[in-house]
Amino acid sequence: MKSTLLVSAVQQPCNADRQTNLDFSIAKIHEAAAGNADLVVLPELHLGPYFCQSEDYNNFDLAQPIPGPATEILSAVAKKLNIVIVSTIFEKRAPGLYHNTAVVFDKDGSIAGKYRKMHIPDDPGFYEKYYFTPGDLGFKPIETSIGKLGVLVCWDQWYPEAARLMALAGAELLIYPTAIGWDPEDTPEEQQRQLNAWITIQRSHAVANGIPVISCNRIGFEQAPDSASGINFWGNSFIAGPQGEIIASADDSETQLLSCTIDRARAERVRQIWPFLRDRRIDEFGDLTRRFID
């Protein structure tokens, strides 16, 4: 196993048609591979516009099986470029059963594993419960040729329990493909508070678990169907080290390939000097499985 990893995250717009978005993603994967990257992460549901802004049964036609057309293409790209790819796909598992699913392709082109999004939001402009069944694969890292990847998806990033369970199962990286943005009607002050909270919670997962975090968001305004409103996806993709330090970051509107080197030994050393896993009072954590303590 390599002592260091060169990792990349693609911050891109996803508001065009499927082929255009896919071609853009693949071009950025080629760019990452040309820089000798071991891993490249794509934004959540990067194949198309964020369709969950409305509840429309016609959008189920966007889903595809895994394996399927998109995975076949990305599998071939991973094999050709000898790179690990993390993609997120609207999965058609069966008629009436759909998931928001992260797929990890190993360097040989094989599907190393899947993760089905566990936490499904239902907010104005984010009507995901209409489309996605909560995941049933658990919080289990995906074993690849470059190590164990703790892949989670967007709304999962707000839950410390999800990050912790991935870490306890041996994840060496936490990876968050994301589609999150501002309501244009919110004040600039509220938008800044939301962005700060989003960055802070994910950096805290790195700190609490002593492992790096890759957060990969889309950019650009996407108008809601039959409405003047929409979502301005705020970008700000970043890669943080095991103490939450920002190693690489993007702004709120720039198309960018973030790349940096992750030092495995340093992550191990951080866990040794901050032994949070050692000192956990697991004998007193039983109430965490309750919805609320009255």
**Among residues 134, 266, 121, which one has the least CA distance to residue 180?**
121
Cβ(258)–Cβ(248) under 8 Å? yes
CA distances from 208 to 1, 7, 242 (A): 25, 21, 9
Question: Distance (Å, rounded) from C-alpha 119 to C-alpha 282?
Answer: 24
Residue ranges of alpha helices (H) inside the chain are 18-34, 69-81, 160-168, 188-209, 264-273
Catalytic-labelled residue, pool 14, 44, 107, 128: 44
Contact, 10 vs 42, CB < 8 A? Answer: yes
Is 216 assigned a catalytic role? no
Catalytic entry in 28, 52, 117, 216:
117
Q: Residue 76 and residue 166: Cα distance in Å, rounded?
A: 28
- Tell me whether residue 154 is one of the annotated catalytic residues: yes
Residue 137, token pair as written in the block: 């694969």
Q: What tokens appear for 228 in the block?
A: 């003047």
Mode of pairing for the β-strands spanning 84-94 and 39-41: parallel
Given the residues 14, 52, 107, 154, the one annotated as active site: 154
Closest CA to 21 of 40, 42, 49, 47: 47
Query: What residues are labeled active site?
Result: 44, 117, 154
